[in-house]
Amino acid sequence: VTEVVGIRDEIVGKLEQAMAEHGLDALVATSPENVAWASGAAPPSQKTVRSRLAAAIVPRHGESELVAIALEGPVVRTQSRLNSIRLYEEFVEDPVLVFADSLRQRGLDDGAVGIEETHLSYADHEKLAAALPAARLVRADELLAELRMVKTPAEIEAIRDIGAAAERIAAEVCDRFGAGSTEREIANFVAERYAEAGGDGLTMLVVGSGPRSAAVNAPPTGRTLEPGDMLRLDIIGTKGCYHSDVARTAVVGEPTAEQQEVYDLLHGVHRRCLAALRPGVLTSDVYAIYHQAMDDAGLPPYHFVGHGLGITLHEDPFVNALSATPLEEGMVLCIEPLTLLEGRFGVQIEDEVLITADGYEPFTEAGGLTRMAS
């Protein structure tokens, strides 16, 4: 309970301050990530049935409100940290008109209202504008992304917790499985352990063995591991809305000289990227370390080497050639050098870190190439 209150106070405080700075009277967050961030609630079917919209309505002054579908009232009631909850009946009420009504009741129907232009559909935007003819709808997408970049202490603990669990599970996979195991058996084991660690579920699980270790986002199949296979494992899921994203690469039995060499090279690059992390450093400069090393080694680079991690899997700041975002204390990043030798094998080493005042603190920490039983 202490932790939940901590998250609320910090985030509502950030929102109120940001609205004052940007001349906004209210924010209407509608994307699943910003509803979860602002309110703590994640209506389960919001992502699966697009018409089941939810909104976190946060005025600069006064009482905040979560709007959600009535049939998920019992779920969101246990999650929301906003002052009130307003439920709408599917098919009977239009959620966008309920958002408008909630603003009207707060006297904000002629205010400057921050909305998510990259989430709200064109049709819903037109409906909201028509329902609130005196309001000024203002794009708040970038503002929300920026606010979410630097994590609060309670958010940091939530991410650290499930990230550490993902790392333990990956280590356990390397210990328990080997030649003769199937990718599917490994996937079932990961899912079970992830649930035991309190995870909500896996949003994407990569289990790619042999040549499949070189396929992007490879889901588990019935393929059986053989001696000499590389295994690439990427454990992506959530606990209480916050993501884990930890990848490990192992070998079944003894590696070839090339497998060992590519792994060691990636691991060296990984450590150099990590050593560069501190406030003020540009994300594009971290990417340059990786890209240069791949070029020097004649290995195919990937188009990014890291990303922010939080309620969404990939969020600002992006660590690629094009995003020159200065690092700040309190950001949580994944650093994940990757190379995919198509049809042969792939290597990926992904750790989660927190940017601190003078460098970084690892949440997870990959070691050398692990041998699985052959």
Residues of the shown chain interacting with a second copy in the complex, contacts defined by CB under 8 A: 31, 44-45, 47-51, 71-72, 74-75, 89-92, 117-125, 139, 141, 184, 187-188, 191-192, 195-196, 200-201, 203-204, 215-217, 219-220, 303-304, 312-314, 318, 320-323
Of 300, 344, 369, the C-alpha closest to 210 is: 344
242: three-class secondary structure by DSSP? strand
CB of 188 to a second copy, least distance (A): 5
**Between residues 89 and 258, which has the closer beta carbon with respect to a second copy?**
89
User: What φ, ψ does residue 352 adopt, rounded to 5°?
Assistant: -105, 135
DSSP assignments along 43-110, one per residue = -GGGTTSTT---EEEEESSS--EEEEEGGGHHHHHTT--SSEEEEE-TTTS-HHHHHHHHHHHTT-TT
Helix (H, G, I), strand (E, B) or coil at 279: coil
Least distance CB 258 / a second copy (angstroms)? 22
Beta strand 359-362 with 65-69 is unpaired
Classify the C-alpha dihedral 201-207-213-217 as positive or negative: negative
- Indicate the residue among 24 and 128 with the shorter CB distance to a second copy: 128
Q: Residue 284 CB, nearest distance to a second copy (Å)?
A: 11
CB of 212 vs a second copy, minimal distance in Å = 11
Q: Which is nearer to a second copy, 186 or 369 (CB)?
A: 186
Would you say 113 or 369 has its CB closer to a second copy?
113
Q: Work out how close the CB of 358 gets to a second copy at its nearest, in angstroms, rounded to a whole number.
A: 30
Helix pair 32-39, 141-149: axis angle to 10 deg: 60
Nearer to a second copy, 287 or 360 (CB): 287
